[in-house]
Amino acid sequence: MDRIRLVGGNELNGRIPISGAKNAALPLMIASLLTDDTLTLENVPHLADVEQLIRILGNHGVDYSVNGRREKQQEGYSRTINFTARNIVDTTAPYELVSKMRASFWVVGPLVARMGEAKVSLPGGCAIGTRPVDLFLEGLAALGAKIEVENGYVLAKAKNRLKGNRYVFPKVSVGATHVLMMAATLARGETVLENAAREPEVVNLADCLNAMGAKITGAGTSTIHIDGVEMLSGARQKVIPDRIETGTYAMAVAMAGGDVLLENARPDLLQGALDIIAETGAEIVPTNSGIRVKRNGHGIQPVDITTEPFPGFPTDLQAQFMGLMTMAKGKSRITETIFENRFMHVQELARLGAKISLSGQTATVEGVDTLKGAPVMATDLRASVSLVIAGLAAEGETIVNRVYHLDRGFERLEEKLSGCGAVIERLSS
């Protein structure tokens, strides 16, 4: 099993290209199930989760081809991928595939919308909370699907197409918004989704669906209107830059010091988080080619945060921010409101010398002057990179185990950081 070795103490200087967003690419890929034409996606990151979803879509009969790779371009750069679901050969998504990645459950919406039926295993994925699928099923039922759950599988049927309806999400859910928006594109009549997620990834998906012939308005607000159409066609869509990767590297610079241009980054995708990072003492400057991040000479300032749906501070940046706060000049409080079990990185940060106490869903971090390298264990995708951020400033050597979590969501992390001066390498087992 691969590990990451890093030695802290070096500033980061240079350029880091921001990849396409994993959280945008996955629903865009799943949207290919809605049409028998080819959907071409640009800027698709090379990640373990993307490769797993390609396998899952292939199980349903989706063909894919990769193009746009330059001569001698190494594996791992963002790609253009063509997805063609001309013939859906199987409407079942089996446990052995779905259990490896939670987002693969989202195929339930397009399959029942286009084929009138779907049999999808209840999902697995990260151990960061129960993350139930009740909202997905309630929403599909509101659109006329008959839903049954048996033997660990969801059975969804809509023999005479889904029917447009009004559905109010009891709580904001990005995944459920993706699924119901996709399903409603082929429903008869109008669908109104209220209290919908406003994340940029939802807007990216809506733009793609509209390019395919859907009639969606309001994406990016809490109320989305969808007028169902008979069929969708192929289209070409670019995956937006990864705002979580952008925030992660911005905090890495704030932690290690230096001056880095985050190429292709879009500040509008995470302005709330950038404002918080600026409060810690980093200089954040938008440019024509991305975002420049530079740490000032006054150390890291403590800042309190609470995770919230967009446009608030993202839960997917909470662990990284905690890593940054471990060396702040004072106490900070981090409150997690999205997932109930997303503080597993606390004990691993403590191994590096961090002082963190927990009370319910709030972590109090007392900044220390020095972190010291140690062996640590990645517990989930975002927690793993928080250990890298801490390790960049720790004295001596840090070894991060279970880096397959990192490979799920960060493209070429070691290459990007080492290109800016970090001492970091992958150790293959």
Residue 7 structure tokens: 């030695």
Q: Does residue 247 contact residue 317 with C-beta atoms inside 8 Å?
A: yes
163 is in an annotated binding site: no
- Residues 79 and 318: their CA atoms lie apart, in Å, by 29
43 is in an annotated binding site: no
203 is in an annotated binding site: no
Q: Does residue 324 contact residue 252 with C-beta atoms inside 8 Å?
A: no
134 is in an annotated binding site: yes
Q: Which residues are catalytic?
A: 126
174 is in an annotated binding site: yes
- Residues 285 and 268: their CA atoms lie apart, in Å, by 12
338 is in an annotated binding site: yes
- Residues 204 and 310: their CA atoms lie apart, in Å, by 14
Q: Show the DSSP H helices in 359-403 as ranges.
A: 381-393
Burial status of residue 86 (CB atoms within 10 A of its CB: 0-12, 13-18, 19 or more): exposed
Q: If you write DSSP's letter for every residue of 58-120 in order, what string do you get?
A: HHHT-EEEEE-PPTTPPTTS-EEEEEE-SS----EE-HHHHTT-GGGGGGHHHHHHHHSEEEE
CB atoms within 10 A of CB 421: 15
- Residues 282 and 289: their CA atoms lie apart, in Å, by 19
22 is in an annotated binding site: yes
289 is in an annotated binding site: no
Residue 188 structure tokens: 């008869």
3 is in an annotated binding site: no
Dihedral over Cα of 143, 149, 154, 160: its sign: negative
- Residues 257 and 253: their CA atoms lie apart, in Å, by 5
The whole-angstrom distance between residue 21's C-alpha and the CA centroid of its chain comes to 7
44 is in an annotated binding site: no
SS3 5: strand
Characterize 372-404 residue by residue with b for buried, 16 or more Cβ atoms within 10 angstroms of its Cβ, and e for exposed. ebbebbbbbbbbbbbbbbbbbbbeeebbbbbbe
SS3 418: helix
Dihedral over Cα of 181, 185, 189, 190: its sign: positive
227 is in an annotated binding site: no
Contacts of 50 (CB under 8 A, 6+ apart): 22, 25, 26, 29, 44
- Residues 54 and 64: their CA atoms lie apart, in Å, by 8
- Residues 233 and 22: their CA atoms lie apart, in Å, by 24
Q: Does residue 328 contact residue 367 with C-beta atoms inside 8 Å?
A: yes
23 is in an annotated binding site: yes
Residue 298 structure tokens: 């006054």
Binding site residues, as ranges? 22-23, 102, 131-135, 171-174, 316, 338
Please give the annotated binding residues for UDP-N-acetyl-alpha-D-glucosamine, written as ranges: 102, 131-135, 171-174, 316, 338
- Binding-site sequence positions for phosphoenolpyruvate: 22-23
